[in-house]
Every structure is written in structure tokens, then in C-alpha cells.
Structure 1
């Protein structure tokens, strides 16, 4: 095993020059474009790990599920634990449920502590144990899900293309309000 040179992006981002930040952002966009261009050997619609098996994510009830033969099947799994008990009224519950279900109707088009950088360049990616074939919006909504808008990572994700998935993010927030009781950390 070889140590990847550099430091975690999250540890050094705010101390980087604007030139280095822009260089890293451009490079990261390039890597994401390449990765998104890969074809799944498991079928174009299948949601699964790199090995074609179940996916792992803290965003899933039980942290592991699938594989799923389609995005629709995956979305149905995500909304299945919906519970009305956390809402003040049936109207609020139905509004959240409708917002969450929109994720499957939207047209579709990464975490900073696992990106190593040095000298304004990306030197490697670490611990992508949750890598797999997910819906197109997934990495952006995952990166934005628990990030405050005034935190530097939020603006980086938006510049990487996350701004294309703000409607999906709204659906995800509704989904969290519906299914939060089914998650454990």
C-alpha cells in the first residue's frame, strides 16, 4: 500500500490561493465528467455497487440496500418508510410526500475529506467504499444534504454542477422529513 501525497481538501481549502482553488475545481470537474462517462457493466438502469451488489450509504435505512433494477425501484425503496407521525397535520404530511415523490419525475442530468490535494492539484481519492452506479443527482444531493449554505464546500458543490440538482435537493429534504425515523447512525 502506498500513501497518497498531499492533504485532505477539507483541511486546507480555506488557506489555498484562488488560483489553486480554481485549478482544483477545474480538475475535479474533469474527473467527475470522466467518471460519469463510464458505462455500467450491470445494465444502464441498475442502481448497484461497483461489483453489481447492494449499495452502501449512510443515506439508506440500514446503510445498505439493493441492488435495484431501475431508478424508479430505488426511489420507491427510499420512500417506503414514510411516516406521518412527525407532522403537525395531514396536509403537511401529504405536501412532504408529494415533494419527495417528485424526484422520480425530474429530468436528470462527493465528499471533500476524501480528496487529497497538493500544489493546487488533486493527488488522489480515498475511501470511496460507497462508490457504485447511482441516480445522476445522487452525489450532488449527498454532498449538499447536511452542508450549510455558508460553508465553503456548499459553493464548491454548486460550482461542480450541484446547482442543476436543487429541485432534487428539495425532494430529498422532503424525503428526510418523511423517513428520518427509519435511519440510525
Structure 2
């Protein structure tokens, strides 16, 4: 069995910049061998869902804007950079970039956290359509959708690290 420091080092970023989730899962004894994407995801998700509303909001706010300033400046985590590049968000036209910037600003203003979507398997057009639909949802529904997307992103990240079963 891996130790706490190694576990947190390895999985503390699965939920964007939120190692407290991995720490709590490990400390509660919810991490067991053999570690698979599914079992680690279950342990981490349990503690993400048990976190306070403010803590979960902090996890949402730790996510970067899609095709935003951090992406342009090269300040994304390696996982976020790969995920956004895989969806073509690093190759937007000036008009597409302007639209993403406009939607990002409006979404954060309305909801208090960035638009979050698991981009794997999606194109920039798929993401833009989802963005344009979801920006019309109420804050409570978007909080629920964003937390579901964060959990999906975490599972995708874990399946890149660990065997699935």
C-alpha cells in the first residue's frame, strides 16, 4: 500500500488544485489495494461530495476558464492543457476565442465559478453549443452540473493513471 504522501502527491490534483480530497480519502481509510481508477474515484468522489458547499465551490473555482487567460499564458496544469488541446481549444480562430471569452465572463458573473465540462471526446463546437445552452440555466442547476462534470474529469484523469478495474 502506498503511503499518505505518495497517494496525495499522485492523486491530489485529480480534483483540480484540491489535494484535501485525496488527504481525506486516505485518512479515512477509503483507499484500498488494488488501486484502480474505479476504486480511487469512488473514494475521492465520496469525500468531494461530503465536502462543504464552500469547499466544493472552491474546487469549481480552481478550474480554469476554457480557452482563457491561463491557457494563453501557458499557466494551465498539464492535465488541463492536454484536455483543452485535445478538444481543439488551443487552436481557436480570433472570433471563436472572442466568443469563448465573452461566454466565460458572462458565466462567471452569473454563477460565481467557471464553466466546467469534461472535454474529452468533444470538439470546440460541441463545447460551444453546451456553453450557450448551460449559460441560461439557474445557478443551482449549474452548480450540480459543474460538480458532475468535475467528477467525470476526475475519472478521466484517473483512467489515464490507473487500470480501470
TM-score normalised over the length of structure 2: 0.31
Which has the larger helix fraction?
2
- Give the greater-gyration-radius structure (CA): 1
Larger RCO (CA within 8 A; separation ≥ 6): 1
TM-score (norm 1): 0.28
More strand as a share of residues: 1
